[in-house]
Structure formats: structure tokens, C-alpha cells
A and B are shown apart, each in its own frame.
Chain A
Amino acid sequence: MHNFIDAFQFIGRNGELPGQPHFSTLTYYSLGTLKITLIAMVISLAIALPIGVWLGHIHRGSFVAINLGNIGRALPSLAVLAIGVAFLGIGLKNVLLALVVLAVPPIITNAYVGLDQVDPDLVDAARGMGMTGWQILSRVELPLAIPLLMAGVRTSALFVISTTTISALTGYSDSLGEIINDEASYHLSGVLGAAICIAAMAILVELLLAAAQRAMTPVALRGRVADVIEDEYVPIAVGAAGVI
């Protein structure tokens, strides 16, 4: 138990080691983790959202969209990072590439499924009201797809935070993983302190995204889709049983 008490003392000191002022602080590494998470998520969203939304809108490419998600889930992040190191060397480039490779599939798959599952009668009704394709997409399909779409974003964000930490094992030194991977300098208390911080960060990001999702979901849908919102995997997995 005293290990965990020491860990919280380490957090209380902001990760500074007594007598070693040159060591970077917990704040520094936390901000580094958040920074690379944010960059990776922005790039991944820019790539994956248009593709997933478009495929779902035109109801094509289900094979690609769903299998991409299945393969993406199968990729071990440490393996992706390791392969990246062999080609690109240690550093930001390799880490970003791995993060994007891992973050893109769930966003594409969930955006696709979310839009594809919108009731065709609703789309017909919207068309009957004289809406254009763009209006149907932005006013009918997207709002209805928000729960699944955001589930994909949340899954990706979790992957990214988790992988950012793991990237320390492949030499990237600007995340909280650096402390976790350097027990010789930070001792067990530092390793545990950093682990507690990264766990707290992941939970915080997850809660924030869940709140964002709730805010973006149309009011009329909120109570009804509560079940679906919570399980990003089930609809895809069960649906995939018939598709693949």
C-alpha cells in the first residue's frame, strides 16, 4: 500500500525528483501527451470522417468500411509502433503515423454504420419535403448518426491516449509513458504516479467526449438511444456477422 501513497506524493510534487531539478515535471509530460493526442485526433478525423460519412450517405462500400474496422481493431499498437521504427526511426513521425493508423479505422467504420443505419423512410420524407442531398445529410442523417459516430471517435481517442503512452517503449520521450518506462530514474513511486495520471487523463477525456456526444445528440433522441450510445462495438460486431 505504501507504494501507492508514495505515488500520490510523487504526483503532489508534480513529478520532480528531490535534488534533481533538471528532470521534467509531470505537467510537462501530461501536456506532451495531450498535445500529441490532439494532433493525432485532428489528423485522423480529417481523414476518416469525410470517408465514413460519405460511404454511409451513399450506402456503398460496406465491405471495406466494416472490414477496415475489424482489421484496425486487430492491429497491436506496440507492433505498429515497432514496424514504424524500422522504417521511419525513433521519433514523432513514427508515433504520429502509428496513432493515425490506429485511430482512423474505428471512426470510418462507426461513421459508416451510423449513417447507413438511418431509417430510409426518414430520408424519403426529407426528400419529399424538397431537401437537397446536402440538407438531408446535414439535417437528417448526421444528427441521427451522432451516437454511433461519436462512439467511434471515443474509441479512437482511447486508442490514441493508450498508444501515446506505449510509444515510450519505442523510444518516444515526450509523453507520460516516458516516466512509466524509466523506473531507474523515477523509481516505482514515479512509475505508479504517472500510471495514475494517464489513467485519470483517459477517463477524463472519455467523460468529456461522452458529454459532448450528449450535447450534440438531438433532444428527441436522447432517452431513446441511450442503449446504443453506450456500446459502439455491439451493433458493428453483430451486424458484421452477416456482412463478412
Chain B
Amino acid sequence: MKLPLAAGGPIIPHFSSSGCERNNQLFCWGWFKQNWAGTLWPALKQHVVLTLIAVVIGFAIAMVLALIAYRYRRAEQPLIWFTSFLYTIPSLALFELLVPVPGLGLSRTTAEVALVAYTLLILFRNILTGLRNVPEEVRDAARGMGMSRRQMLTRVELPLALPAIIAGLRIATVSTIALATIAALIVNQGLGVPILSAMSNSTGPFKTELLAAGALAVLLAIAADGLLVGAQRLMTPWVRARAA
């Protein structure tokens, strides 16, 4: 069961390669342009998909867990222990430990399970903290208006918890982008694939590919962070209005 890395990885064209690539100079634009459409762009797209799936599923699970902990205080501590435990396991170890689990193996599901596991702590804590920080007077007022528990949750508590929830989503997304590079170890997807294939180049690490894929991963994370800050502002205009 050796990792199927070579399958979709880029092949450095030895015979047609320029001197830049043969000498393994720091960055060869020629190689970058030649391999953008076939290697780097697909890897970037896969990376985004890996991340989105993990964050969406992680958010759904964390929301349920947070609502349980919000309703039943006794569930909070065990849930925090559980999600912290998952978060503490080093990523390389968690990916590998999931592989022999029946039904998982070297598949995208395995990668997603690990990525989801890492989002839970951050999302769970932020959702729960957001709900807990709703002022008691506001809750009293809602109760006094005759709202049911469900109405209070959907119309008062969750909207007021939104800044904390979006902040959690932001952190979870960015960390998932970072962790998804490691997924290349078990599934042939994402920006980790070109990094690993550049490392396994027979004549030493291929620098152009390392830099290109590494920079793309960093830029993707920073772009996602910026995008989510924007979303945060648009969706919760009252936060800034209050601060001003």
C-alpha cells in the first residue's frame, strides 16, 4: 500500500527541459507557465474543494454539538475535552491513524474526516461562546415578548452570536487550508501533491515546484482570510457601528 503519488503528479520533462530546470535554479518561469494548467491550477481547485467540504460538514457537526452544550451545560466539558483531544493530535499522525480504519483507507473520505476533526474545536467553542455571551437582559426581553425557546434561538440568540460564529468560521477555514496540504499524503489531491512530488524528484528537491505550490498555498490561505473578514463585516455591520 505505497502512496499513489506519482499517478497525477507532474513529470519534469527531462529531455525538453531548459537549462534553468536542469540546473534546478530557484524559480523557472518557463516550467511554471508550462505546468500551470495541467498541475498547479487543478491542485489549487482540489484544495479549495477539500477545504469547503470539510468546513461545511465541520460547521454542521459543531453547530449541533454547541446547541447540545448550550442546552445541557453538563455536556460542555466532555465535548471540550473530546474536540481538544482531536485538535491536539499532530496532523501527520491523525491522517495515518485513520487509514487502516475499515471503510476509510487511502481515500478522500479519510482526508475529509481528519480535516473535519480539526475544525470542530474552533467552531464549537466560538459558537458556544457567542451564544453564552448574549446578554441576559436581551434573553429576558425576548422571553417577556412571549417567544418560544426555538424563536429565541433563531431570532435572538443566533443572530447576536453571529460575529463570534463567523470569526470561528474564518479561523477554521484558514486552518483547514493549511492542513489540507498534508492530505496529499493519503489522497492524490490538493497543493500538497506538487510539494511532495517536487521533494521526490530524483535529482534533489525541485525548487521551482516547491516555491510555486508553497506560495500558492500561502496565498490561498491569506486570500481566504481576507475574504472572510470582508464577509464578517458585511454580515455584521452593527459590530463596527458600535465600535465607532
Question: Which residues of A are at the interface with B, using a C-beta cutoff of 8 A?
Answer: 3-4, 70-71, 73-80, 82-83, 85-87, 89-90, 158, 161-162, 165-166, 168-171, 177, 180, 183-184, 188, 191-192, 194-196, 198-199, 202-203, 206, 230-231, 233-234, 237-238, 240-242, 244
Query: Considering the chains assembled together, what is the distance between the CA atoms of A220 and B20 in angstroms?
Result: 64
Point out the residue from B90, B181, B217, B236 that lies within 8 Å of A198, measured CB to CB. Answer: B90
What is the CB-to-nearest-CB distance from A38 to chain B, in angstroms, rounded to a whole number? Answer: 16
What's the minimum C-beta distance from B236 to chain A, rounded to whole angstroms? 7
Most B CB contacts (10 A, CB to CB) among A71, A85, A230, A241 go to: A241
- CB of B71 closer than 8 Å to a CB of A: no
Q: Name 20 A/B residue pairs within 8 A (Cβ), A-sorted.
A: A71-B225, A73-B174, A76-B177, A79-B181, A83-B210, A83-B218, A86-B211, A166-B92, A169-B195, A170-B199, A171-B205, A180-B93, A183-B3, A188-B100, A198-B90, A199-B97, A233-B126, A234-B164, A238-B167, A244-B229
Q: Are B92 and A79 in contact (CB under 8 A)?
A: no
Question: B residues bordering A, Cβ < 8 Å?
Answer: 1-3, 26, 80, 84-85, 87-94, 96-97, 99-100, 122, 125-126, 129-130, 163-164, 166-168, 170-171, 174-175, 177-182, 185, 191-192, 195-196, 198-199, 205, 207, 210-211, 213-215, 217-218, 221-222, 224-225, 229, 232, 236, 239-240, 243
Q: Are B195 and A78 touching (Cβ within 8 A)?
A: yes
Q: Contact at B92–A180, with CB atoms within 8 Å?
A: yes
Report chain B residues within 8 Å CB of A161: 90
Interface residue from B92, B100, B126 paired with A4 (Cβ < 8 Å): B100
Q: Complex formed: what's the CA distance from A212 to B90 in Å?
A: 21
Q: Which of B93, B174, B195 contacts A195 (CB 8 A)?
A: B93
Instruction: Check A230–B164 contact: CB distance below 8 A.
Output: no
Q: B126, A165: Cβ atoms under 8 Å?
A: no
Please report whether the interface of chain A is mostly helix, strand, loop or mixed according to DSSP: helix
Contacts of A158 in B (CB 8 A): 87-88, 90
Q: Are A183 and B185 in contact (CB under 8 A)?
A: no
Cβ–Cβ contact B214 & A206, under 8 A: no
Given contact pairs A74-B177, A86-B207, A238-B129, A180 touches B167 in the complex (Cβ within 8 A): no
CA distance A127 to B142 in the complex (A): 44
- In the assembly, what is the distance between CA of A74 and CA of B179, in Å? 10
Which of the residues A71, A192, A202, A237 comes within 8 Å of B222, measured between beta carbons? A71
Q: Which residues of B contact A233 (CB under 8 A)?
A: 122, 125-126, 168, 171
Give the contacting residue for B129; candidates A80, A86, A234, A241; CB below 8 A.
A234
> A75-B218, A192-B97 given as contacts; is B85 within 8 A of A203 (CB)?
yes
CA of A83 to CA of B191 in the docked complex: distance in angstroms? Answer: 13
B90 and A3 contact, CB distance less than 8 A: no
The 4 A-B pairs with the shortest beta carbon distances in the complex, nearest first, are A195-B93, A76-B178, A74-B221, A237-B167
B229 to chain A: closest CB distance in Å?
6
Contact B92 A162 (CB under 8 A): yes
> Which residues of the partner chain A approach B1 to less than 8 Å between Cβ atoms?
183, 188
B224 neighbours in A (Cβ, 8 Å): 74
Least distance between B225 CB and chain A CB atoms (Å): 5
- Majority SS of interface residues in chain B? helix
Asked if residues B182 and A78 are in contact (CB atoms below 8 Å), the reply is yes
A76 vs B213: C-alpha distance when bound (angstroms): 11
> B185 near A165 (CB under 8 angstroms)?
no
Provide the residues of chain A in CB contact with B88, threshold 8 Å: 158, 199, 202-203, 206
Q: Which residues of B contact A195 (CB under 8 A)?
A: 92-94, 96-97
Question: Taking CB as reference atom, which chain A residue is nearest B125?
Answer: A231
Q: How far is the CA of A166 from the CA of B94 in the complex (A)?
A: 12
A169-B196, A183-B1, A238-B163 are contacts. A78–B93 as well, Cβ < 8 Å? no
B210–A166 contact, CB under 8 A?
Answer: no
Question: How far apart sit A181 and B195, CA to CA, in the bound complex (Å)?
Answer: 14
A residues near B198, Cβ cutoff 8 Å: 82
**Given known contacts A80-B214, A230-B80, A242 and B240 CB-to-CB distance under 8 angstroms:** yes
- Contact for B90 among A71, A83, A165, CB less than 8 A: A165
